[in-house]
Structure 1
Amino acid sequence: MDEARDQARGEASDDARDDAEEGPFDAADRAAEANARHRPVVVGPDVVSRPAGPGTETVHSFLRHLRAKGLDSVPEPLGVRGGIERLRLIPGAGGGEGWFHQHTDRGLTSAARLLRVIHDVGADWTPPPDAVWGAPAIACDDTVYCHGDPGPWNFIWRDNEVVGLIDWDYLHPGPRLDDVAYALRWFAPLRPDQHATHWHHFPVVPDRRARVRAFVAAYGDLPDFDVVDAVTERIRSVIRQRREMADRGIEPQRTWVADGAEDRDLEEIRWIEEHRADLGP
């Protein structure tokens, strides 16, 4: 959903150009190009700058809350000026490099643990009265503030271990499982074998069930849930939000929809459901 993921998709596609089924990777290249045009990011030695959005001030308020409570694994907001937001750079590997760091159990479980810490530390934040959410708020009994896009590309890595979580454009209140289910799709990954090897760069198709269990255990204290149902419903929510944004003419979502992103997601939902017995619990 964001520029880092599309960068990672583009990098993965470079390795897959000679594959017999290169269509999805060509689409990923086009998605990356569309996002770069509409949300250019400038990374300096210490500061990341990019165009601010409607929810930028809300995100900065949340990040300041986390950092005030001692959590330095989220970016330090430096303010907005002239329509440009500035954030302190968290040193480490990100974007497409994240696929490689999360291959190990250490990388996988460190991402789950950081996600849990952020959910716990941020739960007592009081949003500003005019808060603007990057994704629809979800009413629930145990509300946390969800990242909304916690894939390997949005974590910062050092030596196969997570040290940060960036790109909070889809911040919204909701249940913990909203982020966990999203992450499982990309970390397990709950995706076809071709994507696991070419896109995620696993040398062999991983034991997805074992990786799901490791991630859920490292996050800790989640109620029992059906992995396939949770992940497929989370993908459907991505489809709904992308379509709604595209209908309003928002880029790059409009380009993604025009390029067939919904059909590809529905195809992945079918694959997950067909492989239910192999994926969980």
Structure 2
Amino acid sequence: MAGAEDDIDALRPISIEDGVVTRPASVWTPAVHAFLRYLRRRGLTCVPEPIGVDGDVERLVVIEGDAGGDCWGHQHSEAGVRSAARLLRTIHDASVGWEPPPDAVFCAPDVESEAETVWCHGDVGPWNMVWHGDEAVGLFDWDFLHRGPRLDDVAYALQWFAPARSDELAMTWHHFPAVPDRSARINAFLRTYGELPLFDVAEAIATRMEATMAMELALAEADVEPQRTWVAEGSQESAAAEARWVREHFDLLTP
């Protein structure tokens, strides 16, 4: 069973040919491309190279490797978890100096914080990473780019890499051969990412999940796909139940 990326592809057709991915563009795509070019000028090859926007279509150079539904097994190991954390830290650190164009439009709102802010991906899951074995070598699909504290992306990532989900979903959705030691995986991610203020892991994950729900609902109400279809199919109710699970099982998520 693959992840949510299959549903996204069905609603937002994506094609890959001769090393180039073609996908629908949005009003925020030019800002995303400007950001990706900034990172690549700083020497980062772990984000896609934008080719350009032609009407309502964007084109980017593909980062070769496994992604989407082929990703799950690569992040089962602690090496995979640590690799994802290193990749995210590298991108966050490189993002700090970027100033968006004056006319930039973003899909996701900034997250106010007294902590240091970086440019966040907003959808850091294994399916949006490119993998070579247990090494995460790329992070793509930057539609939810926004400014926020590092913890905004880290908490989101922990939901999926721990995973902060039920035993059943860990086995079926994430394809673990046995129920994972979530606290050990969270510890591995946080120690590798490094230099974060102390925080309540379960509460941070649940709060980030609720922020994701609010954004999903706002996009659905604006008739944006795939969020409109997800909400119509009951995603808000299932996400609320998962946030409750996180708070009720905080002991499993404490490193």
TM over 0.5: yes
Amino acid at match of 1:54: V
Counterpart contact for 1:133–1:170, Cα < 8 Å: yes
2:132 to 146, 158, 165: 158
Check conservation: 1:107, 1:162, Cα contact below 8 A. yes
Which residue of structure 2 aligns with residue 27 of structure 1?
none
Displacement after TM superposition at 1:45 (Å): 2.6
* 2:55 counterpart of 1:82: yes
Offset of 1:38 from its aligned partner? 3.3
> What's 1:279 paired with?
253
Cα RMSD over matched residues? 1.2
Superposed, 1:250-261 pairs within 5 Å as: 250-261=224-235
In the other structure, the counterpart of 2:85 is 112
1:131 to 77, 80, 104: 104
Q: Percent identity?
A: 53
- 1:2-41 per-position Cα deviation (integer Å, ceiling 9, x unaligned): xx9523xx5xxxxxxxxxxxxxxxxxxxxx1xx3343110
Q: Where in structure 1 do 4 or more consecutive aligned residues deviate above 4 Å?
A: none
Letter in 2 for 1:6: A
Confirm or deny that 1:230 pairs with 2:204.
yes
The aligned counterpart of 2:24 is 51
The answer on 1:244 being equivalent to 2:218 is: yes
Looking at structure 1, the residues matched to 42 and 3 of structure 2 have their Cα atoms a distance apart, in angstroms, of 29
**Of 159, 162, 172, the match for 1:188:** 162
Q: Is contact 2:86-2:192 (8 Å) kept?
A: yes
For the residue of structure 2 that corresponds to 1:106, the secondary structure is: helix
Q: Gaps spanning 5+ residues in structure 1: where?
A: 11-31
Q: Which amino acid aligns with 1:269?
A: A
- What secondary structure sits across from 2:4 in the alignment? helix
Aligned with 1:269 (options 226, 229, 243): 243
* Residues 235-261 of structure 1, C-alpha deviations (whole Å, 9 max, x = no match): 000110011111122222111111010
Q: How many residues get paired?
A: 253
The answer (yes or no) to whether the contact 2:206–2:243 under 8 Å persists in 1 is yes
Whether contact under 8 Å (2:118, 2:150) holds in the other structure is: yes
Contact 2:111–2:148 (Cα < 8 Å) also in 1? yes
TM-score (norm 2): 0.96
**1:20-99 paired onto structure 2 within 5 Å:** 32=7, 35-99=8-72
Shift of 1:154: 0.2
Equivalent residue, structure 2, for 1:17 = none
* Amino acid across the alignment from 1:129: P
For residue 118 of structure 1, what is the amino acid of its counterpart?
A: I
Unaligned runs of 5+ in 2: none
d(CA) in 1 for partners of 2:46, 2:241: 35
User: How many Å separate the matches in 2 of 1:155 and 1:36?
Assistant: 16
CA contact (8 A) 2:21 2:60 kept: yes
